[in-house]
Amino acid sequence: MKAVIGITCDIQEAVKEEAKYFLRQAYVKAVIVAGGLPLLLPNLPADLVDKCLDILSGIIFSGGGDVAPNYFGQQPSSHLGRVEPQRDASELLLAKVAWERRLPMLGICRGMQVVNIALGGNIWQDLQEVPGPVLQHDQDAPFSYPSHEVILEPGCFGNLIKAKKLMVNSFHHQSVKEVGQGLIVTARSSDGIIEALEAKAPDQCCLCLQWHPEWLLGPAGQGCFDILLEAAKGYGANVAKIRR
């Protein structure tokens, strides 16, 4: 059986009856190419989180808008963009419970920030607040164009892809500031911005990326989904043994 991979969705105007969930199909295609069965996840009430995770072998926290700063103990900056508190609440709980279950996880852009906040970390509300000069992290170029370099630090990701540097795309104005418990930094851009996080425990698959691998080829792109699916297959097999 194929590993079922949940992918969180964005939402427009969550308080209205005609609110719409949406997700770029690039995420879905990447999961299918990696050999998984994608399942789109809406905002979930707390009492359905465990039931949802019961049927998953892995989960992807997708990109999107800003995270409301009250979830990481800050007041809103004048640079803060639009937030969807319902999405924040649902995904932060999903990330916390998925982590506790050791469910294989892939956090992408906003998704990286969500996982970090769920584990007690925080973020820069805008890169203008970072001391010193920073690169252009919200590129004015096609999604598939790798616009800047990231430098890999010791970790499972770098060991698997056998590289020290990667070219990646970039579409964000927020980034990880203080790292959550159980996570380590495994990539930075040349200006010091954190570009990748992983689980500190080598036997737990949690890969979080500030770039968008669904638009890229090679190790920085489809390779990231391949890593998630490999871990998901092992997780699903272990769950099946327990249930027998």
- Give the residue numbers marked as catalytic: 109, 212, 214
The whole-angstrom separation of Cα 198 and Cα 184 is 5
The two three-digit tokens of residue 188, written as one number: 């930075």
**In a 10 Å sphere around its CB, with 0-12 CB exposed, 13-18 middle and 19+ buried, how is residue 171 labelled?**
middle
E-assigned strands of 122-212? 123-124, 148-152, 165-168, 175-176, 183-189, 194-199, 206-209
Lookup: tokens for 224: 């990231």
Residue 194: half-sphere exposure toward Cβ, Cα within 13 Å: 26
Residue 112: left (phi > 0), alpha (psi -120 to 50), or beta? alpha
